[in-house]
Amino acid sequence: MSSREKEQTIALSAIFQAAELVSILAKTGQVDNASLQPLLESLLMVNAASTEDIYGGQWDCSTNLALGRKISRQALGKERSSVNPDTLRYALSLIHLENKLAKTPEMLSTIGQKIAQIEQKKAHYESVLHENMLASISGMYQDTLSKLSFRIQVHGDSRFLQQPQVANQVRAILMSGIRAAMLWRQLGGKRWHLIFKRKALLNALESRH
């Protein structure tokens, strides 16, 4: 098992965590902030020293991505059928959408500018979970990724999805999932690895305590 595969599992765990949170939020209108916060904060970690640092550093990374790591293990292992089908679809859709984004340099540049603006805004609020921060991240998603030809269709309870705050949270989580998918690609991850490198990725996931 290479250190590259260990790093890839961090990105993969973040993708699956974002996908699972969107699935839960769309159906219940609620989300676990302990799982959400590290994903949103990763958007502002532009010059992290290591992959682990993007999600809280060496000691907190495993805790912060525990949900995503569990789902990744299930999705790549023998418990695939226990993973919510929507979660699997969102995870693969995030990887697909990020591939399209990577071919659009102007949009990447716009996202970079908007992240810098959001980072400045964070100084005025106590947390990235503040509704104004969520609205800004959601707006970034709407102004950029929503305009690509491929769109992620979110299924859930319309009573929740029609609430502006929930809609903002969904788009903010999807944005963080795109961040993770970008990291996955930058670390050499490819969609076919989820089929043909499953054993190596599973070993790397199992070794992360």
List, in order of start, the domains of the chain with CATH numbers: 3-206 (1.10.3890.10)
pLDDT of residue 199: 84
DSSP 2: -
CA distance linking residue 110 with residue 112, whole number of Å: 5
Q: Give the pLDDT confidence of 44-74 residue by residue, as tens digits.
A: 998 888 999 999 987 788 899 999 999 999 9
pLDDT recorded at residue 2? 61
Across the chain, mean pLDDT equals 92
Return the pLDDT at 191.
Answer: 79
pLDDT tens readout for residues 90-137: 999 999 999 999 999 999 999 999 999 999 888 888 899 999 999 999
- Site of tokens 């399209």: 100
pLDDT exceeds cutoff 80 at 192: no
Percentage of the chain modeled with pLDDT above 70 = 98
Q: Where are the beta strands (DSSP E) in the chain?
A: none
Q: Residue 106's pLDDT is what?
A: 96
Report the percentage of the chain scoring pLDDT > 90: 74
Mean pLDDT of 149-156: 94
Contact 119, 156 (CB under 8 A): no
Tokens coding 44:
């502002």
Rounded Cα distance between 93 and 119, Å, is: 27
The predicted pLDDT at position 208 comes to 57
Asked if residue 179 has pLDDT above 90, the reply is yes
pLDDT greater at residue 69 or residue 200? 69
Q: What are phi and psi of 155, to 5 degrees?
A: -105, 140
- Name the pLDDT band for 15 (thresholds 50, 70, 90): very high
The pLDDT of residue 46: 84
**pTM exceeds 0.85:** yes
Section 10-31 average pLDDT:
97
